[in-house]
A = this chain, B = another copy of it.
Amino acid sequence: MTERERSKGKGGDPLEPPKRMEFPTSLGTSDADHIRLLGLDLADDLMGKVGFGELAFWLATQRRPEPGEVRVFEAVLAALADHGFTPTAIVTRLTYLSAPDSIQGALAAGLLGTGSRFLGVTEDTGRFLHDVLAGVQLPTDDAGWDALALQTVTAQRAAGRFVPGLGHHVHKDGDPRTPRLMQIAREEGLFGPHLALFAAIGRVHPQVLGKTLPLNGAGVCGAALADLGLPLPLLRGFALLARTAGLIGQLAEELRHPVANEIFLSVDLHNRSVAPDPWPPDPEPPAPEA
């Protein structure tokens, strides 16, 4: 890139001195004697005085959460930390088998599966509820919430879309995390509009869908995180944080009671070699240029 391009690229006048490069942050900074984080002294103000869930909330919002907020937040993290032999857990164990020299690689590989299908429900539900609430006057009683929920579920069905957070392939008669998290939020006075709408969806959807589906745990976590005011684009990030703790647990178990090699062999020894299946099935040459 030429100097001319450069100045055009930055929109500045090439004769002016460059503006001072500066990267502002409220997170960690340090000088020879102090480390600051979130405007406080790390050693004196934070270490020994702040829990880890509390700190994670604080880092994401740059405000210290109230104890009740921390309790709801940590209940969410507990709900999402580990679900046994999920694809992410298998991936972390297999990656450790294959590259035991890199713990960070094994954890990162597992986190990469935390996508739309298995943990994305948390974010999708939070966003969905938020979008519904953005355009309405908030109801003031259960009947009002039910009416809003009915309208919401009806609109989704009409559009051929699922309601995020509804349904579970194992907990068909109810996900035990859902009532528990709602109870905790109520105890802390943090049962806000996202949880209220989600609960109402649970009550009214059979009228529209003709069957009763459970409100799943990932969904209720999304509703609770949205009620806590956490940034919607990062709701998936909190699922990832919870899962990091879970994947460390998986690795710790793998170290002492390894199963990854047996998982690998159970796949590899059952491979069956088949003839190639060319794509596209009926290869046509592209139409020649006119």
Contacts and interface: CB of A to CB of B under 8 A. Distances in A.
Given A102-B112, A290-B140, A35 B176 contact: yes
A101 B115 contact: yes
Given A51-B52, A75-B48, A241-B244, A95 B91 contact: yes
Given A51-B51, A56-B81, 12 more contacts: A27-B250, A47-B181, A98-B114, A101-B102, A103-B236, A104-B111, A105-B105, A109-B110, A191-B286, A192-B286, A193-B286, A231-B252
Contacts of A233: 103, 255
Interface residues of A, number: 167
Identical subunits present: 4
Nearest to A180: B43
Interface in A233-266: 233-234, 236-238, 240-242, 244-246, 248-253, 255-257, 259-260, 262-266
B44 A29 contact: no
Given A74-B52, A85-B267, A237 B241 contact: no
